[in-house]
Amino acid sequence: MSGALSVVGLGPGPLKWLTPEAEAALNGADHLIGYQPYLNRITREMSAGERHGSDNRAEIERASHALSLAASGARVAVVSGGDPGIFAMASAVFEALETGPLDWRALPITVLPGITAITAAAARLGAPLGHDFCAISLSTNLKPWSIIAKRLTAAAEADFVIGLYNPVSKARPGDLDHAFDLLRPVRSSDTPVIFAAAIGRPDEAVRFETLKSARGRDADMRTLVLIGSSETRLIDRPQGLEPYLYTPRSYGQYRASSRFPYPSSEAMDDA
């Protein structure tokens, strides 16, 4: 069996955010498999591989197809937007592998990381992920709302910065407002809430709100919604300039009790 499968992260959009490793895998692939809009980002110059586009469901079938092509000797690239391991195809590939024919397990499967939406949005805004954070998908295609609600409340109570992926869909227009309603009793009303849409693409749009003013209608499926912790703050800038958003490296009394940003040299270990 000489085939191989790579699961390739395309990043949030622009080619400058595609890693050279991902570029090489696309270039060397006999087959490209993925959600059609992601395949559309790959020009013929980037890859001459045969394209197998699909809609964004049927992930396990798509993954099985990729594995069976690789098992027959082909070099296959399964593509995802952002990072392929975050709410994306890499897990679907391993799920198909676990339940598929045993001979698939001999295949080399390589997951090639990409820039994920939350880090792209954070970089665009400043440094809101400088302290603990979590990522939650609001999609109910693959899990019930009850577990989403439980995680949102727990994340709010634990004072994480929260990144919401898949914040809305046509089928679930009210979910993001429900999410904000769950956070409101736990977090201060002036908590920054940022709608970061299509980051890195020509249609990029960023909107600054607070937990009080945030409305679900301001997000679409291209949007990463970032909700600050109690420490996340804006640095205002001169008239007409967008503020910077950041979360300090030290938390609460650790900052208040020290003249310096770090309480001790050990705290620098992870800098």
SS3 of residue 33 by DSSP: strand
Count of residues for the chain? 271
Q: Tell me which stretch binds ligand SAH (CB under 6 A): 85-93, 97-105, 184-192, 252-260.
A: 85-93
Nearest to ligand SAH of 107, 205 (CB atom): 205
SS3 of residue 3 by DSSP: coil
Element (H, E) at 134: strand 133-137
Nearest to ligand SAH of 8, 74 (CB atom): 8
Q: Tell me which stretch binds ligand SAH (CB under 6 A): 30-38, 151-159, 220-228, 242-250.
A: 220-228
In eight-state DSSP terms, residue 269 is: T
Determine if 165 is a binding residue for ligand SAH (CB under 6 A).
yes
Q: At its nearest, how many Å lie between ligand SAH and the CB of residue 250?
A: 28
In terms of DSSP H, where are the helices of the chain?
Answer: 20-27, 36-40, 59-71, 89-99, 117-125, 145-157, 175-183, 253-256
Determine if 200 is a binding residue for ligand SAH (CB under 6 A).
yes
Rounded to whole angstroms, what are the CA distances from 201 to 25, 36, 114, 148, 195? 23, 17, 16, 29, 15
For ligand SAH, which residue of 51, 221, 248, 251 counts as binding (CB under 6 A)?
221
Q: Tell me which stretch binds ligand SAH (CB under 6 A): 77-85, 173-181, 183-191, 254-262.
A: 77-85
Residues engaged in binding ligand SAH (CB under 6 A)? 12-13, 80-83, 86-88, 116-117, 121, 165-167, 196-201, 221-224
